[in-house]
Structure 1
Amino acid sequence: MEVKIGVQQVQRELTVDVNESAEDVQKLVADAVGSSDGVLTLTDSKGRTVVVPTAKLAYVEIGGGTPGTVGFRS
């Protein structure tokens, strides 16, 4: 599952490929926004951890993209 994270005042978005379902990622984001420590922590499919302070979150896009499309489409 691809997750794109927009961070305030940063031009590029973070893209993380996670093994969790969309519902699990949505719950992690909701819990992070409502928690007292205020950090969103995701672990990607290769075992790397991404930590983003929720105060700097602009958006979180869960899913998206069409895998396997390469080249020109008509």
Structure 2
Amino acid sequence: MEVKIGVQHAPREIVLESSQPAEEVESAVAAALAGKSQLLSLEDEHGRKVLVPADRLAYVEIGEPAGRKVGFGAL
């Protein structure tokens, strides 16, 4: 699913495709905003981690699960 993260004082948002379920992403965001964690840590579909300081979060948009992509490309 697509996750967009807005960061304070940054001109662009962070966009990643995550294989984590929406509930897991939402609980990670809630823990970061509640002060239980100082970093929001999410993993993209390639296994890379994205770390954002919790006090710099502006917004997090959790999209729908990504459908199958159509086109000519490497799988």
Please say whether Structure 1 and Structure 2 have the same fold, judged by a TM-score greater than 0.5: yes
Q: Which residue of 1 aligns with 2:16?
A: 16
Task: State yes or no: 1:60 paired with 2:60.
Answer: yes
State the distance in 1 between where 2:49 and 2:22 align. 18
CA contact (8 A) 1:33 1:39 kept: no
% same residue: 46
TM-score normalized by structure 1?
0.79
Letter in structure 1 aligned against 2:54: T
Letter in structure 1 aligned against 2:38: G
CA contact (8 A) 1:4 1:13 kept: yes
CA deviations over 1:21-68 (Å, ceiling 9, x no partner):
21111011101222344110011000111100011000000005x866
Task: State yes or no: 1:30 paired with 2:30.
Answer: yes
SS at match of 1:46: coil
SS at match of 2:27: helix
State the distance in 2 between where 1:51 and 1:16 align. 12
Unmatched tracts of structure 1, length 5 or more: 69-74
Map 1:37-48; keep pairs closer than 5 Å.
37-48=37-48
CA RMSD of aligned residues (A): 2.3
State the distance in 1 between where 2:50 and 2:27 align. 16
